[in-house]
Chain A
Amino acid sequence: MSNQRQSGGVGLFDEAGVERWPDALAGARLHVVTGKGGTGKSTLAAALALALAAGGGRTLLVEVEGRQGIAQLFDTPPLPYAEQRIAVAPDGGEVRGLAVDAEEALLEYLEMFYNLGLAGRTLRRMGAVEFATTLAPGLRDVLLTGKVKECVGRTVGEDRRGRGSRQPLYDAVVLDAPPTGRVVKFLDVTKAMGTLARTGPIRTQSEGVVALLHSPQTVVHVVSQLEDLPVQETLDTVDELAEANLPPGAIMVNRVRPARLPVSDRVDEGDLRAGLEAAGLFLKDDEVGGLLSEVSEHTERLAVESGVRSRLDAAGMPQIELPELADGVDLGGLYELAELLREQGVRHDR
């Protein structure tokens, strides 16, 4: 475990006294996770699925971009188009994973309503299915979100006709959504439906998706990082989500590095050398110079961080903080992040 870990002290409330994971988030059933490319969106979605399943729950982690990110994160073979158990959650509980594929989803529909039989696969091989999903760019998103909605609504023991008990199969579904640039378009199913026929089964289902996405059952989290561009994109996305009337969740600030030296501390070369010698370190001039330039880079970074932090604070959303993991993200790292999420109050109220 990393000795950089500082979040033990992060706590349930942020510095402004805002609760990091208020009840509204604990009650949500669909957690959409977006973020600028490279900020660790998929990793945090996975850690969130683990944290929400902790203590005997069951969650589903869904990916929609066809990159098999879940399999890579959990170190499993590529996921088929089927929900599959991928991890055991802390203190009991399980996480299942699903890689939704628009073409498979379309075939599933056609299968259900038109009984295509085996020929569906042939059509897929011919490229006909891809063609149909390409023809109407909105169709792809409608199919993907439609599948997610179906998973949220699924109940224990449900059969193909949707009959089952009242108890939801999944406590919560975590959607690893497209990155910030595309996410609002992806979730704005109403607009996407404009390109589709006015009647028919997909239309009906889409209306259900719209209702779910705009209900308190859904929250959209944005993963950010304490740098200029990711913060700018986060804030832009928060605005766009509000405009599209999509319910905001938390800002998940990822890869927070420890502040070793307050900005106000100036490091004097002579004092540093004396301090080093007191610690038994007798370094050459260029070594000491190197340490000093690391200090000045650190100071510069802290200045940038404090600037972007105040811009994030102004967004008025709950904030979760996660550290940079020294060993990078492997399966153990996911559990470590899940634990840190739980320490900040992340939970699902069943």
Chain B
Amino acid sequence: MTAEPVPDGGRGRRPQHLDLDALIDDRATRVVVCCGSGGVGKTTTAAALALRAAARGRRVVVLTIDPAKRLAQSMGLEELDNEPRVVPGVDPGAGGELQAMMLDMRRTFDEMVLGHTTPDRAQAIFDNPFYQTISSSFSGTQEYMAMEKLGQLAATGRWDLIVVDTPPSRSALDFLDAPQRLSSFLDGRMIRLLSAPARAGGSALRKLVGSTFNLFAKAVSTILGGQMLADASAFVQAFDTLFGGFQERANATYQLLRAPGTAFLVVAAPEPDALREASYFVERLGTERMPLAGMVLNRTHPVHATLSGARAREGAESLEAARGDATTAAVLRLHADRVETAERERRVLARFTRAHPAVPIVDVPAMATDVHDLDGLRAIGELLSS
């Protein structure tokens, strides 16, 4: 990339360059998790990186969440079947292979239940309307199931690199928080309190708020309806026996995320919102002591000529004033626009790098069209590694 230096008061240094080829070529890298807020190109990044790793000799599986239709088709994924499928057209020359799958959260949840209980009991759980709500529309279920699926894939030992996309949540942090939220929800304390506060009684909790809780429980059941609380209560009872197993599994996956072979990639775009989210996420990974490899900055608009914006504009003005060549004037205006955009993007990025100077970054210039085949993914892979 050619770029003219932008004065930033001397406070920001150029961020370190993120070398993704080194990351995927390192056999010790076993799991790559792509995180970021919605709409920054996470899924495409995950797919392109997985394809590149496969072409360079890794046996790779990529877990995508809700990919755009054409992106899914480019990997030969036609339907949501929750099983990894071989991606046709990947160069096997280097001894690698690529499998891809789309997460089916309902089915993953079902499998998790089946793995921890008898078929009869599982069926009773599946039939509970409350289970249907939790497994299809609870806001954290997708994140939880993405982690569960990652745990399952890792447990098979079938692949030597797993690349994971994360759900398009409003915040990247949801990915880390959702399993905890869901499990505190499922552990049943609240349901017992709400459905039978008297029996759960005597607890310190109840003393704390006295009869208010009964009143609250009554109010909640007026709003939600008694049937829902009854279903919820039956569900939690059925779940009780499974819960220990789930917890253990979630803990194991959490440990996998902290293990040395795991690398997090934060995906962002040069927009204030996306970079703010990236900032939160980087800080959080630090707190959780989870390994951050760096940031992929998608959709940048680098300039291709070092001519300054001011000189380009002056040139255009002089041509326009002299009724000179209109095409050249337009080319100069176009260049001045690009310089302006690139400068804005660099200012936005500079705020991030000042706060997180140690995070290596690679930027991926915007493409005019969306990815719709493997060649498109290969092209992005090239950019990711440049």
Chains A and B form a bound pair: yes
Q: Which residues of A contact B313 (CB under 8 A)?
A: 3
A328 / chain B contacts, CB cutoff of 8 Å: 272, 344, 347-348
B39 contacts A196, C-beta separation under 8 Å: no
How far does the Cβ of A253 sit from chain B's closest Cβ, in whole Å?
Answer: 17
Task: Give every chain A residue within 8 A of B216 (Cβ-Cβ).
Answer: 110, 114, 116, 119, 123, 128
Given the complex, which residues of A lie within 8 Å of B28, measured CB to CB?
none
Contact with B along A65-81 (1 / 0, CB 8 A): 10100001000000000
Q: Which residue of B lies closest to A278 (CB)?
A: B324
Judging by beta carbons under 8 Å apart, are B328 and A276 in contact? yes
Q: CB-CB < 8 A to A293: which residues of B?
A: 304
Task: Please report B residues at the A interface, Cβ cutoff 8 Å.
Answer: 2, 37-40, 68, 133, 137-139, 168, 170-171, 184-185, 190, 193-194, 205, 208-210, 212-213, 215-216, 218-226, 228, 232, 269, 271-274, 276, 303-307, 311, 313, 315-316, 318-319, 322, 324-325, 327-335, 337-338, 340-341, 344, 347-348, 368-370
Q: If the complex has contacts A37-B168, A38-B269, are A294 and B304 also in contact, measured as CB distance less than 8 A?
A: yes
Does A181 reach chain B (CB closer than 8 Å)?
Answer: yes
Which range contains the number of A residues in contact with the other chain?
Answer: 35 or more
Q: Would you call the interface of chain B mostly helix, strand, loop, or mixed?
A: helix
Write 30 A-B pairs (CB below 8 A) sorted by A numbering: A38-B38, A39-B39, A110-B216, A114-B216, A119-B216, A122-B208, A128-B213, A131-B194, A135-B224, A195-B133, A196-B225, A197-B221, A228-B370, A229-B370, A261-B334, A265-B327, A267-B327, A272-B327, A275-B319, A275-B327, A275-B328, A275-B331, A278-B324, A279-B315, A279-B324, A281-B332, A287-B305, A293-B304, A303-B368, A304-B369
Residues of chain A within 8 A (CB-CB) of B205 are 126
A134's nearest neighbour on chain B, judged by CB, is: B185
- A278: B residues at CB distance < 8 A: 319, 322, 324-325, 328
What is the bound-complex CA distance between A4 and B348, given in angstroms? Answer: 19
B269 nearest CB neighbor, chain A only? A38
Contacts of A109 in B (CB 8 A): 223
> Taking CB as reference atom, which chain B residue is nearest A304?
B368
Q: Do the beta carbons of A272 and B223 come within 8 Å of each other?
A: no
Among A4, A137, A327, the residue within 8 A (CB) of B337 is A4
> What separation, in Å, do the CA atoms of A39 and B299 have in the docked complex?
13
Q: Are B133 and A137 in contact (CB under 8 A)?
A: yes
Chain A residues 104-142 with CB under 8 Å of chain B are: 109-110, 113-114, 116-117, 119, 122-123, 126-128, 131-132, 134-137, 139
Closest B residue to A200 by CB, please name it. B222
Q: Is the CB of A290 within 8 A of B304?
A: yes
What residues make up the interface of A, taking CB atoms closer than 8 Å to B?
A: 2-4, 36-39, 65, 67, 72, 109-110, 113-114, 116-117, 119, 122-123, 126-128, 131-132, 134-137, 139, 179, 181, 195-198, 200, 202, 227-229, 257-258, 260-261, 265, 267, 271-272, 274-276, 278-281, 283, 286-291, 293-295, 297-298, 300-301, 303-304, 324, 326-329
